[in-house]
Amino acid sequence: MVLELNDDSDGLPPETLRPLEAVGEERVPDELLSLARQVADRYLASYESCLRLVVPPSTRGRSGFADKRRLSWVDRPTGEDIPPRPSAGFALTAKQQRLLGALPPGGALAARLCESAGVGRSVLHALLAKGLLVLCEGPRLGDQATKDVAAGGSAAGGDYPAGESVTGEGVAPAHGSESRSSSVEPQPQGGPCLRVGQQEVLGNLTAAYRDKESTYRLLWGVTGAGKTEIYLRLIEHVLADGAGAILLVPEIALTPQMISRVRSRFGGKVGVLHSGLGRAERTREYRRIAAGLAPVVVGARSAVFAPLPRLRLVIVDEAHDASYKQEEEPRYHASTVALMRLAMHDGLLVEGTATPLVESMRDPEVRVRLSRRAIGKEPSIEVIDMRHQSSGELLSPRAREVLAETLRSGEQAIVLLNRRGYAAHVHCESCGHVMRCVDCELSLTYHSSSRRLVCHSCGRIYFQPPRCPACGGPPLARGAPGTERLDQELRRLVPRNLVFRMDSDVVSGEAGAIAILEAFGGSRPGVLVGTQMVAKGHDFPAVTLVVVADADTGLYFPDFRAAERTFQLLTQVAGRAGRADRSGRVVVQTWNPDVPCIRMALQRDEQGFYADELHTRRRLGYPPFREIVRLMTLCEDGERAGAGARYLAEQLSPHFAAHELRGPVRLPASRGRERWHLLVLSNDGERMRALISEALSQLREPYRRRGVILVADVDPFTFG
Ligand code: ADP
Ligand code: ZN
């Protein structure tokens, strides 16, 4: 990737320079290069990891950044390499000789070499086997970045088929894709007339848009308030202005309805970008967007980097959703990136949600509210205090009764239990021993379908021991029940073909989610049971009942957002009931009806919840009153991980007050690595990031040499 041109080799020894093989044709707009730079600075990430987000998909995973590239560079062995092994087959065939003859000094890309010699890969492999060619490290980019990303799990480019080496394929623009998409282009249709409340909001947003300064608005509107209709009108306005807009949605798999609504309004002007697309499709969309043929882009988090010319509006739907924060390097948040990008164009960012992050609720000036549903009525909420229930079943008699009524009248219900598996953990009732993952130390979840124990962090599967491995005592007992058990209980209550389950154990990928949602959508009566996946923005007009089996599941997470998440989940799932002209019912089972976030969610006291929560955050110095950077050390050796974290804390401590540094503390190990973290909190985010950036740039390399990975997470969403 050419970022800059230079007349001389900058003092590099000539043997480190390689001849250019070819020059691709795709360009990254300057704006996006500059954005990548800013994202790297803001999130203490490597420039390389941010460049990955803006380069055309046709070049990703093909050239450039993957480790594979180095593997595909071949050269003659040098003195340091193992000498050629003399063997019986040492004589060279004509093809092998031709290949060696074609090898330029300094080596070549394997695929190119074969191509120019006109021989197949097998010839190359034969020469490698004989030791007459060696694989060597070709030109490198972003060594550190590659390591960090590998440490964070899958690589950022994991969307793309991996393992492909550089080929001679050109990057000529695909022809025919545009004409094809326009031939099937649906006729764009207008929407309904706006209600008064919607009109006011749209007026406010268009005024903010016309204001030629970069601005932000929070559209705080209850579920069913008609936010989507407002997005569409606003986009129309932007298109009429000759500009482009990006609409971000949480996980595309869960929002097919949104895409079809946008498509039916804007037809072929819509470009869709998400990880479910293959590389060819993605490349085609990327080019249409870059060429200005698709001025409306719908996509998940990374679509904020879509190469739209004249971008002036970004809408983030369901803006509270955690998927907008990337959990691998660069650990960016799409809304923050949108603001950075829009600042270059005096554009407008609109975040829409029924349950804003507490952070977004600080400034009332930028808030617009829709407190009524566009159609349909508010659901009625009934609370069941489980402390007074004695049956061992998950659903109380009252919940069963309401469910039966709903199904009898041919309607649909959603039952939420935000815990996967059959039982949350397995423990010994005699000695208290809990079965844990050997790598992650997290308690294992029992899955009855496979009769196995599963680690929900790393996916490792264990046999259940016949008796307690610690004391040899009785068979192990099962802890808090999960969706699998709820699913079984429901199948005893209602005909099994009416029960649909959705959680990450049964849904894999986009197609799986869509298939389950479609099957459920077509089943009347029907019950959809699952984890928080079922609470996301689906619009099923026949759903008139929502049952929350256990409102308390998220309460005790060691995270300052625990109350907020519980409030959001309850409010969101309640919003799924009675969307069309039928009125909805919500039944909530809880053991903690008096915990404020639960009480206020059930009373729909949203103002009260946010006021309280802001007050608590201010008192404890959490966002939005201070910014947080989480620093983590990971190492197979626990001593080194701990020492690394302590040393880092020591380096930072002269620059921060005691209350601004928390930790370091040890976390449960994960995937065979010991982990430590420390938190830095400051109300001067810029200064904090600059100081940390300085410390990291000094420590990264020495840590790496000792096998310790240093990870910085700016504005973290997870603390486990
Ligand atoms: P939100 O995105 O705020 O949850 P939606 O945009 O999905 O809400 O709107 C909920 C329902 O109300 C949808 O079925 C939509 O078609 C309908 N709707 C929205 N605005 C209007 C309107 N002005 N007139 C009639 N129906 C509307
Ligand atoms: Zn594990």
- Express each pLDDT in 493-528 by its tens digit: 888 889 998 887 777 666 677 788 888 888 889 999
- The CATH 3.40.50.300 portion of the chain extends over 196-370, 380-420+482-616
Parts of the chain belonging to CATH 3.30.70.600: 627-714
Read off the pLDDT of residues 60-75 as tens digits, 9 standing for 90 and up.
654 443 333 344 678 8
pLDDT band, very low/low/confident/very high, at 143 (cuts 50, 70, 90): very low
Looking at residue 183, what is its pLDDT? 39
Nearest CA to ligand 1 atom 19: 226
Domain 627-714: which topology? Alpha-Beta Plaits (3.30.70)
Q: Which residue(s) pair with 481 in the sheet? A: 423
pLDDT digits (tens, 9 = 90+) for 379-390: 888 889 888 776
To test the pocket of ligand 1, the residue of 351, 375, 572, 581 to mutate (highest count of ligand atoms within 8 Å of its CB) is 375
Mean pLDDT of 27-54: 93
Ligand 1 atom closest to residue 580's alpha carbon, by position in its atom list = 14
Taking the centre of ligand 1 as the mean of its atom positions, its distance from the CA of residue 574, in whole angstroms, is 17
Q: Which residue has the tokens 């809990």?
A: 434
CA of 222, closest atom in ligand 1: 3
CA separation for the pair 664, 88 (Å, rounded): 60
Question: What pLDDT was estimated at residue 79?
Answer: 58
* pLDDT reading at 224 higher than 90: no
| 387 or 568, higher pLDDT | 568
Question: What value, to the nearest 5°, has the Cα angle with vertex 637 and ends 636 and 639?
Answer: 145
Which of 644, 661, 657, 620 is closest to 699 using CA atoms? 644
What global pTM score does this model have?
Answer: 0.76
Question: How crowded is residue 483: how many other Cβ atoms within 10 Å of its Cβ?
Answer: 28
| C-alpha to C-alpha distance for 562 and 711, rounded to whole angstroms | 23
What is the residue-averaged pLDDT of the chain? Answer: 82
pLDDT score recorded for residue 90: 61
| CA 616 from centroid of its chain's CA atoms | 28
Return the SS3 of 530: strand
Q: Which residue owns the Cα nearest ligand 1 atom 5?
A: 226
How far, in Å, CA of 92 to CA of 98, rounded? 10
Say whether 647 sits in a helix, a strand or coil: helix
Residue 392 C-beta-side C-alpha neighbours within 13 Å? 3
- pLDDT above 70 covers what percent of the chain? 85
CATH of 196-370, one of 3.30.1540.10, 3.40.710.10, 3.40.50.300, 2.60.120.590: 3.40.50.300
Q: Could you give the count of Cα atoms lying within 13 Å of 140 in the half-sphere of its Cβ?
A: 10
CA angle at 710 for the pair 709 and 712, rounded to the nearest 5°: 145
Q: Where residue 179 falls among pLDDT bands split at 50, 70, 90?
A: very low
Confidence of residue 636 (pLDDT cuts 50, 70, 90): very high
Q: CA of 248: how far to CAs of 275, 305, 539, 573, 687, in Å? A: 13, 11, 18, 21, 30
β partners of residue 108: 74
pLDDT, tens only, 417-430: 888 877 777 888 77
d(CA 14, CA 32): 32
Q: Which CATH superfamily is domain 380-420+482-616 in?
A: P-loop containing nucleotide triphosphate hydrolases (3.40.50.300)
Using one digit for the tens of pLDDT, what is the confidence trace for 615-628?
999 988 899 999 99
Q: How far is the CA of 510 from the centre of ligand 1 (A)?
A: 25
d(CA 161, CA 164): 7
Ligand 1 centroid, distance to 198 Cα (angstroms): 10
- Ligand 2 centroid distance, CA of 474 (Å): 25
